[in-house]
Chains A and B, each alone.
Chain A
Amino acid sequence: GENVEQHPSTLSVQEGDSAVIKCTYSDSASNYFPWYKQELGKGPQLIIDIRSNVGEKKDQRIAVTLNKTAKHFSLHITETQPEDSAVYFCAAVDSGYSTLTFGKGTMLLVSP
């Protein structure tokens, strides 16, 4: 089955800085890679996703890049704000079962 590694486990930045979270996956046939933001006491919220036929996708301050050859994808947040503080999960679709496998999460702390 799919295996997703996520780094770093914690990330502290100053407000206005950029933040980058990286993930690698094992199943070369995986073709869908979402990113979720989870705030305390809430369910994961989809913030951006990318499919394997695209190398990069942007949505305002958030971007995701995908390198299929290296089997890794990254989340980039620019001009971070305190409200960006949360746990972020990457995920990949298991080509065999079409279900999501999550990374272990990154706790992002943005200090004012």
Chain B
Amino acid sequence: DAMVIQNPRYQVTQFGKPVTLSCSQTLNHNVMYWYQQKSSQAPKLLFHYYDKDFNNEADTPDNFQSRRPNTSFCFLDIRSPGLGDAAMYLCATSIDRNQPQHFGDGTRLSIL
């Protein structure tokens, strides 16, 4: 059974049109992460939540924001997507920092 679920699996949006990706987890983990992975590259951390505490990576563009309304759900909002934002977006969870991270299967975002 999937423990980290990302919806949708594929998302197409228009240049500049806001888009929201969602992630849910059944593990009751404290930490949730969002990564961006471009073709043939390693995942790159955008930000993470430790419980309700939001932690942004220094080089994450302001265009990317996140919400975590409760333990189970986390959202990635891209306010004005550009062509360079086309990528796979991965959500992961861990019970605590410095503990194994469990990934979902990602949302592949395309920008027209």
- Spell out A's residues near B (CB within 8 Å): 31-32, 34, 36, 41-46, 49, 89, 93, 97-100, 102-105
Q: List 12 A-B contacts (CB under 8 A).
A: A32-B98, A42-B105, A43-B4, A43-B6, A43-B104, A45-B103, A46-B100, A49-B100, A89-B42, A100-B101, A104-B41, A105-B40
How does the 8 Å CB contact mask read for B30-62 relative to A, with 1 for contact and 0 for none? 000100000011111100100000010100000
Contact A100 B100 (CB under 8 A): no
Q: What residues of B have a CB within 8 angstroms of the CB of A100 in the complex?
A: 45, 101
Q: CA A49 – CA B42 in complex, angstroms?
A: 18
Q: What residues of B have a CB within 8 angstroms of the CB of A43 in the complex?
A: 4, 6, 90, 92, 103-106
- Spell out B's residues near A (CB within 8 Å): 4, 6, 33, 40-45, 48, 55, 57, 90, 92, 97-98, 100-106
Contact B42 A105 (CB under 8 A): yes
Task: Give, as a whole number of angstroms, the nearest-CB distance from B23 to chain A.
Answer: 11
Q: What residues of A have a CB within 8 angstroms of the CB of B57 in the complex?
A: 99
Q: What residues of B have a CB within 8 angstroms of the CB of A104 in the complex?
A: 41-42
Given A31-B98, A44-B90, A46-B101, answer yes or no on A99-B48 (Cβ-Cβ < 8 Å): yes
Contact B103 A102 (CB under 8 A): no
Q: CA A89 – CA B45 in complex, angstroms?
A: 14
Task: Give, as a whole number of angstroms, the nearest-CB distance from A11 to chain B.
Answer: 15
Q: What residues of A have a CB within 8 angstroms of the CB of B98 in the complex?
A: 31-32, 93, 98
Q: CA A101 – CA B105 in complex, angstroms?
A: 19
Contact of B43 among A31, A32, A44 (CB under 8 A): A44
Most buried by A among B6, B98, B102: B98
Task: Give, as a whole number of angstroms, the nearest-CB distance from A105 to chain B.
Answer: 6
Task: Give, as a whole number of angstroms, the nearest-CB distance from A19 to chain B.
Answer: 19
Q: CA A99 – CA B92 in complex, angstroms?
A: 12
Contact A102 B102 (CB under 8 A): no
Across the A-B interface, give the 10 residue pairs with the lowest CB-CB distance, nearest first: A43-B103, A98-B97, A102-B42, A43-B105, A44-B103, A98-B98, A42-B105, A43-B106, A43-B104, A104-B42
